[in-house]
Each structure stands twice: as structure tokens, then as C-alpha cells.
Amino acid sequence: MIKFKKVPQAGLPRLRLEYIWLPGRILVAHLFEVERDDTGAVTQETEIASEEFSLSELAPEELAEIEVTVLPANPIVIAETDESGDLHVTVVDWYDPEYEQPPTAVEEVIDE
């Protein structure tokens, strides 16, 4: 089981992160450039980078050491397994404070 949490954080201007889980406890973070019109409405989003993080090798009660090679910042706050082998992952949920209110923290449980 994966317990996945996104916590709000003011992000880099004009950038947005999106996350997708792949089989085998692989988290993919996609980075988008966001363009807005004069009113602040989003007019276009373009994916500019993505990075995969394999979290399948964590032993029970092990904390992941995350190295970022593509993205401009590490989006993973913490990734660890508990004594029962469940994976707990917390990532940042970037928002642009100039145009957006902080989103609500989101938690979900993903059955593998």
C-alpha cells in the first residue's frame, strides 16, 4: 500500500508539478510551464521536464535518499516504509501565490 500526501508550497514562478504512480512503486513527477493572460487565467501549460523516482527498493523502516537529476528542485519531502512495508510519500504541491490560494493538503491511499 502507498500512502501519498501532497502538501502546499509556494512554487517557482510559472511552474507546476503533477504526479503519476507507475507499477512497482515508481513515482513520476512532471514539470509544466504555465502561461497566463493579463487576468491571470491559465492559457497554456507545456511539459518541460519529468523525472522518475523508484521507491521499490526501500526496506521496512528505511528512509529514501532522493537525488534529483532533471528537475530544478526535489519535489519529494519524505519517502519511507513503515514496519509493515507500506510506503509513505510526501511531496510538494506547488502553487503560484501571485494568482492562486494555497491548495488543501491532499492525502490518498493507493492499493498496489
CA angle 69, 73, 76 (to 5 degrees): 90
> Taking 90 as the threshold, does the pLDDT of residue 36 lie above it?
yes
Helix then strand then coil, in percent of the chain rounded to 5, is: 0, 55, 45
Q: Residue 22 half-sphere exposure, CB side, CA atoms within 13 Å?
A: 11
Can you give the pLDDT at residue 13? Answer: 84
Q: Per-residue confidence at 112, pLDDT binned at 50, 70, 90?
A: confident
**Average pLDDT score over the chain:** 92
Residue 68 has pLDDT above 90, yes or no: yes
